[in-house]
Amino acid sequence: MREQGQERVISKQTLFGNRLSTHLVDRLSAADPALSRLRIAARALFALILTVIVLVAIQQVRPLPVAAYGLAILLSFIGTIGIRDTGWRRQTVTRALAGLVGAAASILAGTLAPQPIVADTVFLLVIFVSVYIRRYGMRWLGVGLVAFMAYFMGDYMHPPPSEAGFMLLAAAVALGAAQLASTLLFTEDPERDFRRALRTIDHRINLILRHLLQASVNGVLPPDDRATVRTQMTELREILLMAEGFVPQITPEGWTVHGDAADLAGGLIDLLLAVERLVRYRETELPSAEALQALLTESGPKVGTALPTAGASGGEAGQLLQDIRHARARINAALGPSPSPIFKRNAATVPAAVQAALGPSRAGIPAAFHRPIQVTVACGLALAVGLMISPTRWYWAVVTAYLVFNNTRTRADTAVRALNRGAGTLGGVLAGTLLATLLHGHPLAAGLLIPIVFFLAVYNLQASYGWMIFFFTIGLALLYGLMGMFTPELLLLRLTETLVGGLSGIAAAFLVFPVRTGGAVDTAMRDFLNALDELMTVAADRNKAVHDITGAALKLDHKYGALAAAVRPLGGPWSVVTKFGSVRTKLLLLVSCAHWARVLASALADGAATDSERDILEKLTTAAMEKTERLRIAGASWFQAGGTPEPVPHSGPNPSAGTLQHEAAIGALEAINDLLDRAIAQL
């Protein structure tokens, strides 16, 4: 009996462990469906470890200065995540150029270090130039970042000109490791990432189908149905749109896809629409358990290759399941076996870096100089205050002031980024102090934990800036502990300098050539409405090809994403728009327009309308374009005007799966017009 009791306990523990493991894998696959974040983190960690190993080996033959190690560690990190050129040849050139610039900047800083005023003045000049050259493309973004980081490292460690050879050697080792990691071991492969994302999409759809199967068997929807389906559909949309981003969509002619690429993009749109319709229809009619089970037993790549299952059709719900099968089959047919010709690199279709709109000149100063001056002023202020606080740790303030402007467009964006960095540093100081204290006297444990923390920092780079800084601060605390330099006061000083840098960045963003969030929202809103007008024009044109309507729908999706990013600061310091409120709810009106645009593209791609029906389409598209003009005039003020509309969970007519395609197109246009009417009512 005792043995049976122990077996039950072990069985329960095993079951709990399996469930926990399954849940963890499910969360990780939802957060990183293509494993791109994992690849970036592994790439950075490998480059760092390889750099250290090679330098330690060289150290056994010829001692290296400490500054060489500092430069190598910086460049191994920037060389993997900061250099994002397309193709290994361009990356090789950029890394070689970055290595030369980095070594030269560090030696220049070390040479000028005995003359602090001159050194600081040149540092500000380096900052100005490093920001200015970003306008010439991705290559110069990486080179400028290397120049900035290398100069401050040289200003701190003072390498003399006699160590120039060692600095060049360290740069070559670090960037060589980054090149190896990026172009040979952890390479970018859009087709591989797309297929991984597709497997995750299949998994998310299966979760929805199992939820419906359970409801079909029980004969009633579970109490948590709405929350469960909302979460699953949100994750499915995000993953599917990310997968869509891997499909080559931009050609020299613009947002137009042809041939198999059009079929692949169209299949993704059809798949999302079919699942959305099934989910909305579940409260009216649930598919039969047999039909759901039949679809669940087919693995993703095999969907649509077999004859329809006997129970898969019958009733509207059964037809919706068939729509899912047909959409997935369309994806399979377009993708084909690996390697797929869709993803073959073609230099002619790779868009060149396009300079963003800079806006008008101010006070006689060209717009191209606004951001460089802004960042330089922020760093100068941080340098002055940081030196007053600490003559040796001032660089934390300057680095913060420089980096809070990365990937920001408006003053509110900069403020949010500064707040995230401050919050991440505060959390890292508390956690780092605790860990460094607990691991004091255990160097092996601390040494093993540092790479893990570094990996987690880079893993969160694309997802959360605050979490990245949190893990980096912990790693810094552990590193100081290994070097025998750790004190809580040192981490407190880091927090203070970080706050100084963040406040300096915010002050410069608001006082020096400020870019209002409203201006960025105006531009993004105009781009979205222009894309919607373009879609209307294509829909009304009797001579446009299928790929034109698909390309217009894809463009509208991307313009909505840019608009959603632009309006985030309007709702407060939230990193994603997740809570209801005026901004969030109004965004739902626009994302619903994008949704029905996908329905429209799918309908017009699969069926031709008669002349009379074309007349109806033309009237509806003309009406929609008149309404977009009113919203275009309102611009950003629309998000602050009027009251809060009621939530719009993809409202509008819901053409059944059995209707003719041109009727579905008319229904989609009616839905878009209805949504635009509701948007205008908020003016």
The pLDDT tens digits for 365-407 are 888 899 999 999 999 999 999 999 998 889 899 999 999 998 8
Question: What pLDDT, on the 0 to 100 scale, is given for residue 503?
Answer: 95
Q: Please determine, for residue 510, whether its predicted confidence score (pLDDT) is greater than 60.
A: yes
Omega of the bond prior to 339 within 30 degrees of 0, cis?
yes
Instruction: Round to whole Å and give the CA distance between 82 and 403.
Output: 12
Question: What pLDDT, on the 0 to 100 scale, is given for residue 66?
Answer: 87
Residue type, 137: G
Instruction: Judge contact between 649 and 587, C-beta under 8 A.
Output: no
User: Could you tell me which residue, 348 or 492, shows the higher pLDDT?
Assistant: 492
> For the ranges 83-92, 99-108, 492-501, 568-577, which has the lowest average pLDDT?
568-577
The tokens 């084909």 sit on which residue?
336
Instruction: Round to whole Å and give the CA distance between 128 and 135.
Output: 12
CA 678 to chain centre: 30
Instruction: State the average pLDDT for the chain.
Output: 80
Structure tokens at 289: 């358990």
Locate the domains of the chain by residue range: 35-188, 199-249+260-343, 366-512, 517-680
Under the banding of pLDDT at 50, 70 and 90, the label for residue 22 is low
Concatenated DSSP letters of 230-281: HHHHHHHHHHHHHHHHHS---BTTBS---HHHHHHHHHHHHHHHHHHHHHHH
Instruction: Judge contact between 175 and 96, C-beta under 8 A.
Output: yes
How many CB atoms sit inside 10 A of residue 585's CB? Answer: 16
The secondary structure element, H or E, covering residue 563 is helix 546-567
Instruction: Judge contact between 347 and 377, C-beta under 8 A.
Output: no
Phi and psi at residue 254, to the nearest 5°: 120, -150
**Sequence-ordered alpha helix ranges (H) in 370-487:** 370-389, 395-403, 411-438, 443-459, 465-482
Question: What pLDDT, on the 0 to 100 scale, is given for residue 273?
Answer: 77
Phi and psi at residue 251, to the nearest 5°: -115, 170
Mean of pLDDT values over 312-326: 77
Question: What pLDDT, on the 0 to 100 scale, is given for residue 129?
Answer: 96
CB neighbours of 489 closer than 8 A, spacing ≥ 6? none
Structure tokens at 56: 């330690």
Question: What pLDDT, on the 0 to 100 scale, is given for residue 304?
Answer: 52
> For the ranges 153-162, 261-270, 317-326, 471-480, which has the lowest average pLDDT?
261-270
Phi and psi at residue 610, to the nearest 5°: -75, 170
b/e code 304-327 from CB counts within 10 Å (16+ = b) = beeeebebbeeeebbbbbbbbbbb
Q: Which residues pair with 254 in a beta bridge?
A: 251
Question: What pLDDT, on the 0 to 100 scale, is given for residue 50?
Answer: 95
Instruction: Judge contact between 628 and 673, C-beta under 8 A.
Output: no
Instruction: Round to whole Å and give the CA distance between 558 and 250.
Output: 12
Tens digit of each residue's pLDDT (9 = 90 or more) over 428-451: 999 989 998 888 888 888 888 988
∠ CA 488-427-392 to the nearest 5 degrees?
45
Q: Distances in Å between the alpha carbon of 22 and those of 197, 204, 460, 479?
A: 18, 14, 21, 34
Question: What pLDDT, on the 0 to 100 scale, is given for residue 655?
Answer: 40
